[in-house]
Structure 1
Amino acid sequence: MSKTKIDFIYLSEQDMIRAGVTDMLQCVDTMEEMFGLLYAGDYRMAGANNDSHGAMITFPENSPFPNMPKPTIERRMMAMPAYLGGTFGTAGVKWYGSNIENKEKGLPRSILMFTLNDADTGAPLAHMSANLLSAYRTGAVPGVGARHLARKDSKTIGLLGPGVMGKTSIAAFMATCPLIDTIKVKGRGQKSIDDFITWVHATYPQITTVSIVESIEEVVRDSDIVTYCNSGEFGDASKYPEVKREWVKPGAFLVMPALCRIDEGLERNDVRKVLDNTGLYDAWYEEMPKPAHNHIPIIGVYFMDMIADGKMTRDELEDIGKIVAGVTPGRVHDDEIIIMSVGGMPVEDVAWGTVVYRNALERGIGVKLNLWETPALR
């Protein structure tokens, strides 16, 4: 057999499901292991500081070229590369195009693919459908946070945005907080709320109460875990959905993977502020005009604006990787309020993509494709 032969596997969305991409508990465990490697430094992402979210193509408001895409809401084309060490030892890149108008065509807002590579040669190992891969790894990160930072007796979730991200976040909370029995949900349209309620009842019979609420305040009040998973326009942070200190019960865990702003009460240093990776926010802050929160609506970016404005010090920020590694404690007492920012990183795709790929190999799933027997150019 030729030593230069390279085969790889293609995994469709159905192949990914068969290979376990929707196994949320395994995904949470995988993300926890990944955060330990981030704390140890055994990873690389793009950019000068090796922590960049990725490289995005942007489009102008006015272009002389009639076929150039317009900068509509959620319009993104982006490559997100990373390497992850430890038991993974792989590299990869997620590529996605996103446009909110896709929904009018019966398509998801984002369409994603992921290529996993051998970290030594760079040869492809797999090319896979990545919508579920990305959705589950995104939801699993709040689950890691809940495992370490939510109260052990948490029973009630407050959810803003019952879409894909909302569902996967709920799945992660259910995997890590077994006493949850109540969800309060606010959405934009009745259809998305009805779909969410049907999904909850079919998937989690232990949920005894799903309440539809009319205001963000109701989402937050009396909730043990609060998560904003909404989509929307960004550019003016004053229009992002707010969390006010007076709404937040003592001991609440707030985990925010979407648009969010906080009031002065939550800015105070008695509220713990946790990031998925400080380096990610440093990279964003270097790349964006100021205030950066107008351009990246994640609450951790606002923390960087606060540091620049002298409202907080850098040592008030904590990385979840340091908590996972046991260097910094998780929840210290039952009444502390903790906010965790979730920005999303390509190392998460590499971690979960590697696990699903190895599952697929073990189970004989996927279509083998040949790159070459011997390369034409060497």
Structure 2
Amino acid sequence: MLIVPEREIADLMTREAAFDAVEGVFAAMASKDAYNFPVIREAIGHEDALYGFKGGFDKAGMALGLKAGGYWPHNLEKHGHINHQSTVFLFDPDTGMVKAMVGGNLLTALRTAAASSVSIKHLARKDSKVIGMIGAGHQATFQLRAALEQRPFEKVIGWNFHPEMLPNIEKVATEAGLPFEAVELDQLGHDADVIISITSAFEPSLMSDHVSAGTHIACMGTDTKGKQEVETALLGRATVFTDEVAQSITIGEAQHAIFNHVIRPDNIVELGAVINGTNPGRTSDDEITLFDGTGVGLQDLAVAASVVDLAVKKGVAIEVDF
């Protein structure tokens, strides 16, 4: 078995490689060459933590495995560790034997950012100039860096429940040579051509009447039953895309719209269909597009498999007899 420690990931996985892996997985899912296993995600009743498993099998990429991990909200303040913790396990599809164990913390951040970035590439208006960020935590910085590579953005605007955290995304904007402005949500929705929402909220912050026609929204924080980042009515106005419909309607942003009969499951399109060319995606400059990014296990397997290959080539993979 090969081990790729967390400490090695930063030197192995790039945003470009993560983007390519995630885009490929979405396409394979839409072609029915890859499928995810049912997600297990539970509150464990200790440290307010959410813990679970995501896995699947990508026949096109021959990746089989799972990611184990979750969210420990007090980690940073109590232990000095990031709140999201995870590890990816890969298995040989031919034998079932374990192939690799890979540190999953940075990979999770990169693949989540890649997913919204893929949605921007395929769904946002080509002339998008202003990007709005809702959320300013650790993951938001990854989201913004990846998104800025997809369109010629000229300005970054942001809002966060805790305004003192906004310098996190202002720093990313400054590094990219772009101006940053802290705004209220109504202005953010009005001015932004692309909006990324990346919070852990259980109540919506972005309302339907905040959002202008032609906006692309990537909802990336809702991955658990009960979570919600945007008003249900917004999904009724938008054309809704997702990584996987089954997760979107049960643990994703669409769960509330489905429950309230605002949309139906067959209204939701898998982004892979747009990538494959079997769905047109955006059809007008006035259309609101919304990507419900729930985070599928196949994303984790794809980036982890890529990292293992690179680790072997660079001689940093640790081989153990297991």
Equivalent residues in 2 for 1:163-242 (5 A)? Answer: 163-177=137-151, 179-189=152-162, 191-202=164-175, 204-205=176-177, 207=178, 209-213=179-183, 215-232=184-201, 234=202, 239-242=203-206
1:319 aligns with 2:319: no
* One-letter code aligned to 1:137: R
- The one-character-per-residue Cα deviations of 1:61-111 (angstroms, maximum 9, x if unpaired) are xxxxxxxx25x2xx112122211121x202111111422111212221121
Alpha-carbon distance change, 124 to 219 in structure 1, aligned in 2, over 3 angstroms: same
Provide the secondary structure at the position in 2 that maps to 1:333. coil
> Out of 11, 21, 35, which is 1:18 matched to?
11
> Out of 56, 60, 79, which is 2:41 matched to?
56
* One-letter code aligned to 1:274: F
- The one-character-per-residue Cα deviations of 1:166-219 (angstroms, maximum 9, x if unpaired) are 122212212222x112110112445522233224323x23x2x11112x22222
Aligned to 2:293: 342
TM-score (norm 1): 0.78
Unaligned runs of 5+ in 1: 1-7, 47-51, 61-68, 285-295, 372-378
Question: What CA distance in whole angstroms lies between the structure 1 residues aligned with 2:70 and 2:287?
Answer: 40
Q: Check whether the contact 2:145–2:172 (CA below 8 A) recurs between aligned residues.
A: no
* One-letter code aligned to 1:11: V
For these two proteins, the number of residue pairs brought into alignment is: 315
TM-score (norm 2): 0.91
1:300 aligns with 2:285: no
- The one-character-per-residue Cα deviations of 1:340-361 (angstroms, maximum 9, x if unpaired) are 1111110110111111111112
Aligned to 2:66: 93
Provide the secondary structure at the position in 2 that maps to 1:41. coil
CA RMSD of aligned residues (A): 2.0
Unaligned runs of 5+ in 2: 222-227
> Out of 33, 57, 63, which is 1:42 matched to?
33
Aligned to 1:273: 240
> Out of 351, 362, 376, which is 2:302 matched to?
351
- The one-character-per-residue Cα deviations of 1:215-236 (angstroms, maximum 9, x if unpaired) are 222221210001111123x3xx
Structure with max Cα Rg: 1
Provide the secondary structure at the position in 1 that maps to 2:195. strand
* One-letter code aligned to 1:320: L
CA-CA distance at 1:263 after TM superposition: 5.4
Identity, % of aligned positions: 21
Provide the secondary structure at the position in 1 that maps to 2:10. helix
Question: What CA distance in whole angstroms lies between the structure 2 residues aligned with 1:369 and 1:181?
Answer: 49
Question: What CA distance in whole angstroms lies between the structure 1 residues aligned with 2:317 and 2:256?
Answer: 42
